[in-house]
Amino acid sequence: MSKMSTDHIRPTDPVGRMLYRIAKWLAIFGGIVLSAMALLTTASVIGRSIFLQPIPGDFELVAIGTGLAVFAFLPWCQIVRGNVMVDFFMSAAPTRSRLLADIMGGLIYLLISALLTWRMIFGGIDMYNYNELSMTINFPRWTTFPISIAMMAFLTVVIIYTIGRSIAEMRAGRYFDEPVDAGDAG
């Protein structure tokens, strides 16, 4: 079994390298948040079974943390082409067809990402204006919106970059992140 490497997915242009680095740190942040939610759940279950006292609002905190983690993972998945890929249908297709599918999928994802970012702004404002609180621990629900909106806006930027990368790849006739075969290099 060969060692898996992500070196071939790392963008080589300055903008791509910067987006890659930010997306990587966001994904690490998401992993830390998700790990904290797992520890919180474990502590609550242990507290419930041993002391008959769970952590109050554990399900609310897990929902908030999981939402933040998901938003943190999305840019990384996009920049390393880890989002939903239809490899089963497209693996035998010519490179040009796969790139066209990447571009079309990217455009649809861009539309969804931009729409969600735009609507989350208004959702956060409404939650702030109405002082919406979580049910058990009275956590102000609007407080997670600014960071979530920032991560969604960053996802939108990453999608725009990856669409541009796919267009450039289509012009070049190959995926830039595919390792070049020794026979192709000469």
Domain assignment of residue 4, yes or no: no
For the chain, the domain total comes to 1
Residues 6+ apart with CB under 8 A from 155: 71, 74, 75, 78, 113, 117
* Residue 101 domain boundaries: 12-177
The lowest-confidence range among 21-25, 42-46, 75-79, 101-105 is 101-105
More confident residue, 185 or 147: 147
Residue 34 lies in a domain: yes
What are the helix and strand counts (H, E) for the chain? 6, 0
5: in domain: no
Band of pLDDT at residue 178, cut at 50, 70 and 90: low
- The answer to whether residue 151 is domain-embedded is yes
- 48 domain residue, yes or no: yes
- CA pair distance 40, 60, nearest whole angstrom: 11
- Band of pLDDT at residue 183, cut at 50, 70 and 90: very low
User: Amino acid identity, residue 184?
Assistant: D
